[in-house]
């Protein structure tokens, strides 16, 4: 039972989106911003202040690392710790979705979430 319990959430929403954006390949700030906006269908917009505040914390905590570039455009890439954090978060979402389906809370009868 213990092995199936996902780890508690460690990443805030903007931090999770940023680590997801740099999981597969190194990206710079503007690329991360646009990717998050595009893939979320325009619902998640991260401004430069929020973006670099989150990048700073992710670097400090070792979830991402720098991969070249210059002072104006640095590239970032998820570390093994960052990839593990993504897995933990996605496990939590998967578990929440399973429970929601079991109790009939998803998909909702009024059509929301379909």
Partner 1 sequence: MKGDTHSVQCYGILLMLYPKQYRERFGEEMLEVFRQCDEEACRVPGGHLRLWLHVLLELPSTITYEYLKRKEYMDRDVKYMATAASLLLAPFFLLIAGAVAGSALGLPVNYQIGQAFATYHLVTPVMRVFPAIAGVLALASLGRQVQLAGGVSSAGFGTIKRSWPIVGLLLLSLFALLVLPFHDSGPCVKRFATHPNVGQLETCVRTS
Sequence-ordered list of residues with C-beta below 8 angstroms from that of 44, at least 6 positions apart, any chain: 13, 17, 36, 37
State which of residues 29, 64, 79, 82 lies at the interface with partner 1 (CB under 8 A).
29
The verdict on 85 binding partner 1 (CB under 8 A) reads no
Q: Contacts with partner 1: how many residues (CB under 8 A)?
A: 18
Instruction: List the structure tokens of 87.
Output: 């897995």
The verdict on 67 binding partner 1 (CB under 8 A) reads no
The verdict on 102 binding partner 1 (CB under 8 A) reads no
Sequence-ordered list of residues with C-beta below 8 angstroms from that of 76, at least 6 positions apart, any chain: 18, 22, 26, 27, 28, 32, 55, 58, 59, 64, 65, 66, 67
State which of residues 13, 25, 48, 107 lies at the interface with partner 1 (CB under 8 A).
48
Where does this chain bind partner 1 (CB under 8 A)?
Answer: 28-30, 33, 45, 47-53, 55-56, 71-74
């Amino acid at each position: 039972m213990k092995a199936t319990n996902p780890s508690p959430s460690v990443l805030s929403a903007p931090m999770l989106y940023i680590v997801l954006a740099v999981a597969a390949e190194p990206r710079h700030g503007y690329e991360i911003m646009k990717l998050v906006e595009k893939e979320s269908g325009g619902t998640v917009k991260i401004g430069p202040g929020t973006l670099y505040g989150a990048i700073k914390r992710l670097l400090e905590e070792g979830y991402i690392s720098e991969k070249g570039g210059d002072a104006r455009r640095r590239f970032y890439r998820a570390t093994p710790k960052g990839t593990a954090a993504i897995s933990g978060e996605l496990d939590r979402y998967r578990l929440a979705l399973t429970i929601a389906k079991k109790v009939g809370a998803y998909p909702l009868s009024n059509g929301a979430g379909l």
